[in-house]
Amino acid sequence: MLKTAKFGLISLSVLWMATGVLAAPPQVQVIDTGWNFRMAPGDEALKAHPDMAGWLKATVPGTTQSDLLALKKLPDPYVSDNEGKVQWVGLSDWQYQTEITVTEATLQRDHLDLIFEGLDTFAQVSVNGQKVLASDNMFRTWRVPVKGVLKAGVNVITVDLASPLKKMKPLVADMPYVMPGAYDSVWGDEPLGRNSSTYVRKAGYHYGWDWGPRIVALGIWKPVKLEAWDDARLADFHVAQVHLDDQVAALEASFDIQSDKVQTVTVSADITAPDGTVQTVKQEVSLFAGLNPISVPVQVKNPQRWWPVGYGKANLYTVKATVTQGADVIGQSTRKIGLRTTEIRREKDQWGKSFEIVINGVPVFAKGANLIPFDMIPTRVTAAEQDRMLQSAVDANMNILRIWGGGTYQDDDVYDKADELGLMIWQDFMFGGAIIPYDRDFRESTRVEAVEQVKRLRNHPSIILWAGNNEVQTDWENWGGGTADLKKSVSPEERDRLVTGMVRMFDQVLRGAVDQNAPGTPYWASSPSTDYDGAADQDTDGDRHYWSVWGGKPVEEYLKVTPRFMSEYGLQSFPVMATIKAFASDKDMQPEAPVMRAHQKYDKGNGNKRLMLYIRNNYGEPKTFGDFVYLSQLMQADGIELAASHHRASRPQTMGSMYWQLNDVWPGASWASVDYYGRWKALQFRTRHFYAPLTVSLLRKDGVTDAHILSDLTTEMALTWRLRTLDFSGKLLNEKTGSTTVAALSSPLVGSYSDAELLSGGDAKTTQVVFELLDGDKVVAKTFGYTAATKALDWIDPKLATAIKPAAGGFDITVTSKAAARGVWLDIGDLKADLSDNSFDMTGAETLTVHVKTDVSLATLKKTLKVRSYYGSAGPVAN
């Protein structure tokens, strides 16, 4: 037993007074102090880590890794090559313990429930030495009655956490074959090709991915609570939308009330509209013994709809539910909801079958990216950091994020922020690409998980689609390697069982969880897929993941692929030098240095060679490591701009573009456009332009350039366009102009021009084309085009100069170029500052202004700021 004197714990006193009233309000005590942890007694790793035998201070919610880091008993796994030095933690068993003090009055309550909102992952919970709970699913909430176990005075809660690797290794070793699709460990803790992660309902990325390290976290990663209640409690509350039109929204306020007996209560719902007006509905209801589903109809006149960003206001209603018995409140809950309709429109047309996200009857071109977890250790991410990342998405003109299936279901704060911003969420269930086991226990655990998560998140209007998994169907149908080997090695009957298991899970179990608990939100069986209408990953139907570019094909291949909805595609880059310096020293500044390879997870560190291939294709040979980093970002930004602009120009054939990926779990090379510290790469700045509601594109294919206007505006607009050809000094060689009325939600083609027409007699090596859109005299969109690869042009020194002056909220930086400049980059080091633009091209003799939002001083900014462009960054590629 834990002794307070020995460990200096602060006991948690639950000071609930007995009222003698049967309907006394439930009381909740959060158990978040006084926790200690140690390596489990008898663990073999104690020989190497004897200082782990004694009790150490823990933080709950948290993980063993975060606790050890806080105590400085573990090196930072993100720095240098420290990842290998922390693997022992996930290979060990651990024990957590705390004390709570319970009064006699508390024990008189009818029910005492101990609630663990998240245990990662194999845990046994004991109270006063008596086992009350065994968990095996990271994504579930566990509620257990402990009234007969608690006693008056001090009570000890113990949580024994088993290493998922150690627990699963003997089970996997005895299997005739192992499900393929997971990433092999480079640390030798599991045999190659025999990965245990597929069999565990735990975040797949913890076991390593091609953009993140292997940190097999374990711990009490969500809050712990003790709830006391008597003969009734409000178990759940949500608002279901039955009907919506411009005149009325028909809703049902749904109360799930757990009752011990037949009794009468009053339920009420106060609905506060976005304009502050309030209406109340109230009803007296009779309860039976058991779980009572109660629905109270609500009508909202002249509803204010929730719209995605760019299409209208993200209007939210606040609904407060109350359950009373006489004068006593026995349950309350508050939800924010949005009134909107959502569908995935799939209609046959000349290109196959459409895939359109339709909100409130309006087809929305989805512009966004894929969101991975914010950190390898999710418990140390703050709500402010999450908010900033979502705000970065909206600031870059995204309207959708896909929460990818190999991580975790996100915190409520993430969805709350998305609701407020009008940011649509494509929500995967947590399956990350591996073939799944088909046994009943695994399926049932997942079913419960799915129901819990859908119920938790169903009130969020931002969630416009649930998808069964990431890449499981296409893994089975299209991938080689372990999947192909498995299909050859097992009998036809076993193959049928595997396929049946996947279909049962993704077409029935998870679909049922959504259809039954969130019927207003569409379900999609897999990404990519055709929702089991046929084969996955097709250009003519469903959504597509396209990886031939990055797989070796040049970026120009993006123009040859026109899917109905592109939900994954991407190119890598390194983060900015300020981020690299946070994990590497001067001696590590080479692409193939051990530390750089350690922070490049693609192809076990060989991804930097792939990066170099794409840099060399269009930009040449980097002269220095800094040039390599800069060119990796320029390449990534150019390539994704090419693809995304092609997708938008192909509207309505293509109706979505979500690149891989928005964010990082640690500092390193990856496909992210915002790095681990929240710093924008070149791609994120460029995204702000090519995802803008009104923008232009120049797409060159086979010597012909198409000029498009791209509009996501909901009304038509009369505009002027201008296409200029200039030499690198800024001299005008030719100009074409025109006026047009751009229809709402359209991508009209202005014209197609051969290289000769664009060049207008100019030298291809010293000529640039500028396509602009003007509203009166104001340039509202602008892009650049060239008739050859960047490395093939004869760039001259643009002699870039900057001037800084104070401005509202920070400073304005004026940039001047003497000659054409490619990929101008303003480097502000590690300063905390937000730039309005970066990674842009300039014409000769051009001046433009970038605003910097920051609290730093003028002197600090002047000292830190450096400006560069492509000129001088690369030389010829050696044969």
Beta carbons within 10 angstroms of residue 21's beta carbon: 13
Compute the distance between CA of residue 786 and CA of residue 241 in angstroms, rounded to an integer: 51
- pLDDT, tens only, 649-686: 999 999 999 999 999 999 999 999 999 999 999 999 99
pLDDT over 90 at 303, yes or no: yes
Compute the distance between CA of residue 274 and CA of residue 166 in angstroms, rounded to an integer: 52
Please, what is the end-to-end C-alpha distance for the chain in angstroms? 71
Phi/psi zone of residue 302: left (φ > 0), alpha (ψ -120 to 50 degrees), beta? left
User: Residue 24 — pLDDT band, cuts 50, 70, 90?
Assistant: confident
The pLDDT score that the predictor gives to residue 2 is 36
Domains in the chain with CATH codes: 4-225 (2.60.120.260), 232-337 (2.60.40.10), 432-453+472-543 (no CATH), 795-879 (2.60.40.10)
Average pLDDT over residues 370-395: 96
The pLDDT score that the predictor gives to residue 18 is 33
pLDDT over 80 at 104, yes or no: yes
Beta carbons within 10 angstroms of residue 326's beta carbon: 12
Percentage of the chain exceeding pLDDT 70:
97
Q: What is the 3-state secondary structure (H, E, C) of 677-703?
A: CCCECHHHHHHHHHCCCEEEEEEEECC
Q: Are 157 and 127 in contact (CB under 8 A)?
A: yes
User: Residue 644 — pLDDT band, cuts 50, 70, 90?
Assistant: very high
Task: Name the maximum alpha-carbon separation found in the chain.
Answer: 95
The pLDDT score that the predictor gives to residue 784 is 98
Q: Are 268 and 282 in contact (CB under 8 A)?
A: yes
Average pLDDT over residues 573-599: 98
- pLDDT, tens only, 136-174: 999 999 999 999 999 999 999 999 999 999 999 999 999
The pLDDT score that the predictor gives to residue 19 is 34
Q: Are 565 and 355 in contact (CB under 8 A)?
A: yes
User: Residue 8 — pLDDT band, cuts 50, 70, 90?
Assistant: very low
| DSSP 8-state secondary structure symbol assigned to residue 877 | P
- pLDDT, tens only, 465-483: 999 999 999 999 999 999 9
- pLDDT, tens only, 428-442: 999 999 999 999 999
pLDDT over 70 at 13, yes or no: no
Residues 6+ apart with CB under 8 A from 80: 583, 584, 585, 588, 595, 598
Amino acid identity for residue 324 in this structure: T
Average pLDDT over residues 335-363: 98
Compute the distance between CA of residue 93 and CA of residue 198 in angstroms, rounded to an integer: 20
The pLDDT score that the predictor gives to residue 23 is 57
Average pLDDT over residues 811-821: 98
The pLDDT score that the predictor gives to residue 227 is 97
User: Residue 878 — pLDDT band, cuts 50, 70, 90?
Assistant: confident
The pLDDT score that the predictor gives to residue 10 is 31
Residue written as token pair 């090196």: 75
pLDDT over 70 at 6, yes or no: no
The pLDDT score that the predictor gives to residue 25 is 85
- pLDDT, tens only, 592-627: 999 999 999 999 999 999 999 999 999 999 999 999
Question: Which token pair is 501?
Answer: 């298991």
| DSSP 8-state secondary structure symbol assigned to residue 606 | T
Percentage of the chain exceeding pLDDT 90:
96
Compute the distance between CA of residue 766 and CA of residue 800 in angstroms, rounded to an integer: 18
pTM: 0.95
Question: For residue 230, which of 103, 112, 102 has the smallest C-alpha distance?
Answer: 112
Phi/psi zone of residue 363: left (φ > 0), alpha (ψ -120 to 50 degrees), beta? beta
Compute the distance between CA of residue 463 and CA of residue 707 in angstroms, rounded to an integer: 34
DSSP result, 491-510: -HHHHHHHHHHHHIIIIIIH
| Average pLDDT over the chain, rounded to an integer | 95
| DSSP 8-state secondary structure symbol assigned to residue 33 | S
